[in-house]
Amino acid sequence: MKFFIDSADIEAIREIKAMGMCDGVTTNPSLMAKAGRKDTDALLKEICAVVQGPVSGEVTALDAEGMVAEGRRLAALDPHLVVKIPTTYAGLQAIATLSGENIRVNATLVFSLNQALLVAKAGAAYVSPFVGRLDDVGEDGMQLISDIVEVYENYEYDTEVIVASVRHPMHVVDSALLGAHIATIPPEVIRKLVAHPLTDKGLAAFMADWETLQGSGS
């Protein structure tokens, strides 16, 4: 399973990339605002240069014509750029147009199997179901992932499943068990994935024994 980093923080992306844990990046207007960078095109190009993998930049237009124009502009920034399009009726029109021009699209804000089926038929390269937000309203986000993976396998769609809105390590574990292609993970969750209290306890014991061994030889 590939790990995309869900962030526009270039330093966090560099750090995780150096660990070998970054296959791509997803951004959105909220993450761009959090990064405090107004030169968003320049930031996207900088991220692409670091990652050398798929980097999703999101359109802000709401009509199909505007989405297509903005998508073309974003795609022209760098060969690694993937255009994020919201899954609306206008979005489906934009996905079909851009995909027909061999521009990779990440269909975002997906919350149902219906939506996932439609974006695959429209030609999206990626689909991003938001599991955390579904959990927030009492629905089972991981069940949606299971359903999408099954339907895509049934019909051999090329669209890759990006598990989005990941909130904790079990979202990542469940995604891997269900056969999702990608999880897009915030930097703080990457740090939680490596943590385990027994690792800390074992390391502390090893170090204590080492100090005792060093002291006994003096």
- Give catalytic residue positions: 84
* Residue 7: closest CA among 194, 193, 195, 190: 190
